[in-house]
Amino acid sequence: MARIARRSFIKLGGAAAGTVVGATQFGSQGSGALAAPAGLVDRPAELPKPKGPRVVVVGGGWAGLTMAKYLRKENPDFDVVLLERRAMFMSCPISNLWLAGLVDLEFITHSYLDAARNNGYLFLNASMADLDRETRRVYTDQGHLDYDFLVLAPGIDYNYKAIGVDDIEAEFALRQNFPAGFMPGSEHLSIRAKLEDFEEGIFLLTVPAGNYRCLPGPYERACLVAHYFKREGIPGKVVLLDANPDVTIKRNAFHEAFETLYKDVLEYKPSFEITAVDPFKKVVSSDFEDIEFADAAIYPRVRAAKLIEWLGLADPKSPQYEAHIDVFFNNIVGDPRVYVVGDARPMPFSKSGNTANSEAKIIAKVIAARAAGKEPEKWVSPHTVCYSVVNGDPVEAVMVDAHYKFDEATKQFAFDRVKLVEERSTALGKATFEWAEGLYRDMFS
Amino acid sequence: MERRLFLGACAAALALLPSPQARSEGPPGHPRALLVDENGRPVAAGALEVNVTYIFHYPYFGTPCFLIRLPQVQPAATAATLPDGWPGGVGPGGRIVAYGAICTHLLTHPTREIAMIHYYPPDEPSELAERGGVITCCAHGSVFDPAAGGRVVAGPAPAPLPAIELEHDERTDRLTAVGVRGAFDYRHYLKVFKRELRKTYGRRRYKSKVGSFTELLPLDAFTAEVLAC
């Protein structure tokens, strides 16, 4: 359902219908009425004129950055604008290594300006505020811009209600005091500081139910925090509460690491469904047990970024409020001008950086084809490649490499061509860095 | 201190340049570089070991390449599946091939510290590729077939490894790199790795084209660690 043209709520009494932009000051030259300022969203964004069909990409994460670059590779005539509210990029992949002090901050932070400069698109540091799909207009806090094609790659947000947190006071306390650490930025800086300051007791980590971002992430984090405690001689214990009945990925590898490397420092509790959290008393509860913690990074259930739902683009059947899109070509159902890529997708693919990077390349081709009046030929599976570092010294990792297939009979997606290397090694540890550096090169250079 | 690959090679090599009749015109823009060993003596094709990954730099000082003497040219690869214009192997039995050693996916390449892309002999298969006789890149799992023009057999690489055109002089048994077949964006690679390449190969040198000879050595003499995957 398209939004009606946006009404401006800032028209003050007496002003003309067309608002005057900044022409008058308060208490101006004798005229009785104040001309209303246009405000933030109801003015055109100050951008160079489009030099070709304009594609707006909302979200500068792994999907958005890759999309912005590859749209131009597919069609150099595309005028691409990348909209991102953060001023700099911080990588969630490899961030666990940074938490444990195994890489410096420069490894995981990058400049959007470099990405835009090197790949010939415009970077608009702004926040999306609204969308009108009838007029093909995106409203932002830096004004509005019109699109020929729109790609929404807004990523995830957290769903605290799903772990029994109904109270806005408690939710805010969790977001600020015990951030999950899966939307990089201040969350990760806070967690790192918590680790450095940690004295003793339980450091709580959680694994959500559902298709959460980065399946191995919480397990890798548990390993590396445990490694950090051991290395720094901190008498703390990592307690990992898992809503799932067992480790969700690289199962043998993580169990082996938990057993042989972190036996006295890490306790893994599967089938722990969190039904209540008290961030003030610092207690997490299931129906059967209460656990007090000294500090924590509490990862609740994942949902698509709220803008998907608030723009009316969510699938009502999606428990994670993910977008209602064509599952093969990612366009909003019925609207081949608007696409959703990355973790806001409803398909059961791994919500991870490599997946988003490979998906964006595929959908960039789809958009270029449709812009040229052609239909894409057939569905291409995204590619999930994922390394998990289970040991900090020496750095040892395990990996998985997988594609997906669509089963016509069950009408469902499943894993395909899965390669799992669960024996940890320093070789895979080294390959982890090269994997990440290659992808940063792809997105930023 | 950067390692200089051409220690005193000049005087030795000059005496051993091929005779004028053996020389042919290479494609314009690419140097004709005789492959020499670490003492500056021309490499003899017949002395190359089968199934060993050799490395040399071409067409720039900062752009590594692989040379492999393959055990046999696979008859299974039909012409239709070979990359356009692949000149095939040279030397005894036509089994010596050379390719750019920079993965066409996201530019992983051998450095002095580590090689994450290299050739796996048939009897030492790549675990990731589940076979030997291939070049595998450990970063994201791209696999290339050196017996079939460096074409992609698995993984996310969007293009075959560029083939380095070699000439073999049957009389002297010498090998010369004369060109590159297949598109490769050298400028982009040299820009992206500027800092690292400058340190390894020299501030200006890394992006200069090699001269009339270039050093060939086994990969494990070039790099401290060869990663297997």
Residue B14 token pair? 């000059």
Name the minimum distance, in Å, from the CA of A417 to any CA of chain B. Answer: 11
List the single residue in A358, A435, A445 with the smallest CB-CB distance to B139.
A435
Q: Which residues contact B170 (CB under 8 A, 6 or more apart)?
A: none
Residue that is last in its domain, among A322, A339, A371: A371
The string of pLDDT tens digits covering residues B50-69 is 999 999 999 999 999 999 99
Structural domain includes residue B153 = yes
Query: Percent of chain B beyond pLDDT 90?
Result: 77
- Model confidence at A24: pLDDT above 80: no
What CATH number did the domain enclosing B157 receive?
2.102.10.10
Yes or no, beta carbons of A442 and B227 under 8 Å apart: no
A394 cis-preceded (ω within 30 degrees of 0): yes
Q: Is A205 exposed, middle or buried (0-12, 13-18, 19+ CB in 10 A)?
A: buried
Structural domain includes residue B13 = no
Interatomic CA distance for residues A214 and A295, integer angstroms: 22
Yes or no, beta carbons of B108 and A438 under 8 Å apart: yes
Name the minimum distance, in Å, from the CA of B107 to any CA of chain A. Answer: 7
B224 touches chain A (CB under 8 A): no
- Model confidence at A17: pLDDT above 80: no
Together in a domain, A198 and A130 = no
Together in a domain, A254 and A339 = no
Structural domain includes residue A179 = yes
Which residues of chain A are within 8 Å of residue B225 when distances are taken between CB atoms?
A: 430
Number of folded domains in chain B? 1
Residue A388 token pair? 């998990």
Residue B30, CA distances (Å) to A336, B150, B178 in order: 46, 20, 7
pTM of the model: 0.88
- Give the total residue count for chain B: 229
Run of H or E including A139: strand A137-140
What CATH number did the domain enclosing A263 receive?
3.50.50.60
Which region, left, alpha or beta, applies to residue A133 given φ > 0 means left and ψ of -120 to 50 means alpha? alpha
| Segment 179-218 of chain B within 8 Å of chain A by CB | 188, 191-192
Yes or no, beta carbons of B192 and A441 under 8 Å apart: yes
Residue ranges making up the domain that contains B173: 29-71+80-222
Number of folded domains in chain A? 2
Distance of CA B5 to the CA centre of its chain: 16
Interatomic CA distance for residues B113 and B101, integer angstroms: 15
In a mutational test of the A interface, the residue from B103, B105, B106 whose CB has the highest number of chain A CBs within 10 Å is B106
Which residues of chain A are within 8 Å of residue B197 when distances are taken between CB atoms?
A: none
Among all chains, which residue has been given the structure tokens 């700099």?
A: A88
* A/B interface, count of CB pairs below 8 Å: 47
β-bridge mates for residue A60, sequence order: none
A283-285, strands of its sheet edge to edge:
A276-278, A283-285, A290-292
Interatomic CA distance for residues B43 and B65, integer angstroms: 16
Q: At what angle do helices A426-444 and A112-119 cross, to 10 degrees?
A: 60
The string of pLDDT tens digits covering residues B1-22 is 434 343 333 444 333 333 333 3
Residue A209, CA distances (Å) to A59, A171, A186, A270, A320 in order: 25, 18, 24, 11, 11
Q: What's the pLDDT at B79?
A: 55
Among all chains, which residue has been given the structure tokens 């010939």?
A: A120
Name the minimum distance, in Å, from the CA of A124 to any CA of chain B. Answer: 24
Together in a domain, A171 and A299 = yes
Which residues of chain A are within 8 Å of residue B227 when distances are taken between CB atoms?
A: 427, 430-431
Structural domain includes residue B2 = no
In a mutational test of the B interface, the residue from A430, A433, A437, A443 whose CB has the highest number of chain B CBs within 10 Å is A430
Q: Which residues contact B32 (CB under 8 A, 6 or more apart)?
A: B23, B26, B176, B177, B178, B212
Q: Are A40 and A129 in contact (CB under 8 A)?
A: yes
3-state secondary structure of A132: strand
The string of pLDDT tens digits covering residues A326-362 is 999 999 999 999 999 999 999 999 999 999 999 999 9
Together in a domain, A172 and A293 = yes
B102 touches chain A (CB under 8 A): no
Query: Looking at residues B152-166, what average pLDDT do you find?
Result: 96
Structural domain includes residue B58 = yes
The string of pLDDT tens digits covering residues A395-427 is 999 999 999 999 999 999 999 999 999 999 999
- Return the closest-CA partner of residue A118 out of A126, A110, A109, A107: A110
The string of pLDDT tens digits covering residues A73-116 is 999 999 999 999 999 999 999 999 999 999 999 999 999 999 99
Query: Looking at residues A255-279, what average pLDDT do you find?
Result: 97
| Segment 38-97 of chain B within 8 Å of chain A by CB | none
Residue A429 token pair? 């540890």
Structural domain includes residue A254 = yes
Structural domain includes residue A47 = no
How many Cα neighbours within 13 Å face the side chain of B202? 13
Structural domain includes residue B178 = yes
Structural domain includes residue B156 = yes
Structure-model confidence comparison of residues A4 and A112, the more confident one: A112
How many Cα neighbours within 13 Å face the side chain of A28? 11
The pLDDT confidence band at residue B87, using thresholds 50, 70 and 90, is confident
Together in a domain, A187 and A265 = yes
Which residues of chain B are within 8 Å of residue A427 when distances are taken between CB atoms?
A: 138, 227-229
Q: What's the pLDDT at A19?
A: 43
Together in a domain, A246 and A317 = no
Together in a domain, A295 and A172 = yes
Residue that is last in its domain, among A333, A349, A371: A371
Together in a domain, A176 and A286 = yes
Backbone angles phi, psi at B113, to 5 degrees: -85, -40
With the CA atoms of A85, A86, A90 and A92 taken in that order, what torsion angle do they form, in degrees rounded to the nearest 10? -40
The string of pLDDT tens digits covering residues A116-138 is 999 999 999 999 999 999 999 99
The string of pLDDT tens digits covering residues A192-228 is 999 999 999 999 999 999 999 999 999 999 999 999 9
Together in a domain, A237 and A190 = yes
Q: What's the pLDDT at B172?
A: 97
Together in a domain, A131 and A212 = no
The pLDDT confidence band at residue A65, using thresholds 50, 70 and 90, is very high
Yes or no, beta carbons of B105 and A438 under 8 Å apart: yes
Among all chains, which residue has been given the structure tokens 């990862």?
A: A299
Which residues of chain B are within 8 Å of residue A421 when distances are taken between CB atoms?
A: 127-128, 229
Residue ranges making up the domain that contains A338: 54-157+304-371
Structural domain includes residue B24 = no
Interatomic CA distance for residues A285 and B47, integer angstroms: 71
Structural domain includes residue A218 = yes
Type of residue at B221:
A
Query: Percent of chain A beyond pLDDT 90?
Result: 90
Query: Looking at residues A151-159, what average pLDDT do you find?
Result: 98
Query: Looking at residues B154-178, what average pLDDT do you find?
Result: 96
B54-57, strands of its sheet edge to edge:
B213-215, B33-36, B174-181, B163-169, B96-100, B64-69, B54-57, B217-218
The string of pLDDT tens digits covering residues B109-145 is 999 999 999 999 999 999 999 999 999 999 999 999 9
How many Cα neighbours within 13 Å face the side chain of B214? 26
In B51-158, beta strands by DSSP E: 54-57, 64-69, 96-100, 117-120, 134-137, 143-145, 151-154
Q: At what angle do helices A353-371 and A62-74 cross, to 10 degrees?
A: 30
Name the minimum distance, in Å, from the CA of B73 to any CA of chain A. Answer: 28
Residue that is last in its domain, among A319, A348, A371: A371
Nearest CA in chain B to A433: B139
Together in a domain, A179 and A290 = yes
Structural domain includes residue A75 = yes
Which residues of chain A are within 8 Å of residue B128 when distances are taken between CB atoms?
A: 401, 419, 421
Mean pLDDT of chain A: 93
List the single residue in B116, B156, B191 with the smallest CB-CB distance to A431.
B116
Together in a domain, A184 and A299 = yes
Structural domain includes residue B192 = yes
Q: What's the pLDDT at A134?
A: 98
Which residues of chain B are within 8 Å of residue A445 when distances are taken between CB atoms?
A: 188, 191-192
Structural domain includes residue A277 = yes
Yes or no, beta carbons of B106 and A445 under 8 Å apart: no
